Chain A
């Protein structure tokens, strides 16, 4: 089972920031938080990941709370093309896990004009 909890759906106005929350209260100390998204019927696309520090790349920012029990993915200026299902996944390489991703239901983000 997925170790994360996400709202099933969210709306965002085009051009505004989209803030997608994720709860991972049972996260272990060596587990990273990964975000992927799936646009329509395409394959999942990697967005960003982090351990405990906030991270930013060309696609998004990831804010992880100090206790690491929750995080927020931020798309700073959402466009219609960002409409997708967003998955928050936690895992640690090693300890019997070598990259297997456990997908939950994710959050369906609808960006509206």
Chain B
């Protein structure tokens, strides 16, 4: 069974550009979460989808970040325009019901 997959694994963009990260959760998992880790800091929650609905987006840093999960399958996280402080590793996780979450390998975003 395929795990949580994220694409791309690495992305280097210039300040002001747009980047879209993609997450494919484990098939059948209704819950999808985005987290990120910026340099030297702890892993922080960004938001949570249940199917296609945003359940909790309390961790989204600002309106430059837009997450979608059309059809309740894969999810995208768009950063527009990217700023230097957005650099970090973005993780996606999925779970079924109240079961434990499985994480992807992450996307390392570098904004220069």
Contacts and interface: CB of A to CB of B under 8 A. Distances in A.
Contacts of A43: 4, 91, 93, 103-106
B42 A44 contact: no
Interface residues of B, number: 26
A44 B48 CA distance: 17
Given A43-B91, A44-B91, A46-B100, A100 B56 contact: yes
A95 interface: no
Interface in B25-39: 31, 33, 35
A43 B103 CA distance: 5
Nearest to B45: A100
B43 interface: yes
* Chain B interface helix/strand/loop/mixed: strand
Task: Determine chain A's interface SS by DSSP, over half rule.
Answer: loop
A99 B31 contact: yes
Interface of A: 2, 34, 38, 41-46, 49, 93, 98-105
Given A42-B106, A103-B44, 15 more contacts: A2-B42, A38-B43, A43-B93, A43-B105, A44-B93, A46-B100, A49-B100, A93-B98, A98-B48, A98-B56, A99-B48, A100-B59, A101-B35, A104-B42, A105-B42
